[in-house]
């Protein structure tokens, strides 16, 4: 899995949260930029061919989705599909980052609303199912 792709998909996930009510506020955009700058970039060591920290792809993808008026459900499903396609490389750290930044962004504009909470709950559920799949494969390998 390419880390650049993970961060692009994370940008889609964050877009899905921000746009779930069909309005992306300046507070949400500022929160996104702060999350990328203060949390994602400092903890990421991978860069692209231009020596750009790949965590910035979160911001780039979010902006692209916003400018192209992307669909929040499609953006969410794209992230889930990516995680399922790369479940063997999607580790606990990535799972925690994804959940943490989604919750942070949801809080940015007057707290987490019902639609955001439902999306976060669905995300948790889907990520936990992926973890179960990994555990079953490990168990299967141990048994054979």
**Plot region of 51 (φ>0 → left; ψ -120 to 50 → alpha; else → beta):** left
Q: Please report the pLDDT score of residue 109 as a whole number.
A: 86
Q: Please report the pLDDT score of residue 133 as a whole number.
A: 53
Q: How far is CA 100 from the centre of its chain?
A: 9
Kindly report the CA angle at 11 between 102 and 122, in degrees rounded to 5? 40
- State how far the Cα of 90 lies from the Cα of 130, in Å rounded to an integer: 9
The closest of 128, 57, 45 to 65, measured between CA atoms, is 57
| CB within 8 Å of 29: residues ≥ 6 apart | 18, 66
Q: Hey, where are the domains in the chain? A: 3-143
The closest of 5, 21, 141 to 86, measured between CA atoms, is 5
Q: How confident is the chain (144 residues) per 10-residue block, as mean pLDDT?
A: 91 96 93 96 93 96 95 96 91 91 93 93 91 50 43
Q: Please report the pLDDT score of residue 140 as a whole number.
A: 44
Q: Please report the pLDDT score of residue 76 as a whole number.
A: 97
99 — phi, psi (to 5°)?
-65, -45
């Amino acid at each position: 899995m390419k880390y650049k792709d993970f961060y692009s998909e994370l940008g889609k996930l964050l877009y899905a949260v921000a746009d779930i009510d069909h309005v992306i506020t300046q507070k949400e955009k500022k929160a996104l930029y702060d999350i990328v700058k203060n949390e994602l970039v400092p903890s990421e060591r991978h860069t692209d061919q231009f020596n750009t920290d790949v965590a910035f792809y979160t911001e780039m993808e979010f902006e692209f989705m916003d400018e192209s008026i992307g669909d929040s459900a499609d953006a969410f499903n794209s992230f889930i599909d990516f995680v399922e396609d790369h479940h063997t490389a999607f580790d606990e750290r990535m799972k925690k980052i994804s959940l943490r930044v989604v919750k942070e962004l949801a809080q940015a504009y007057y707290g987490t609303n019902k639609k955001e909470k439902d999306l976060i709950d669905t995300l948790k559920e889907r990520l936990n199912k992926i973890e179960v799949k990994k555990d079953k494969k490990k168990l299967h390998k141990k048994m054979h």
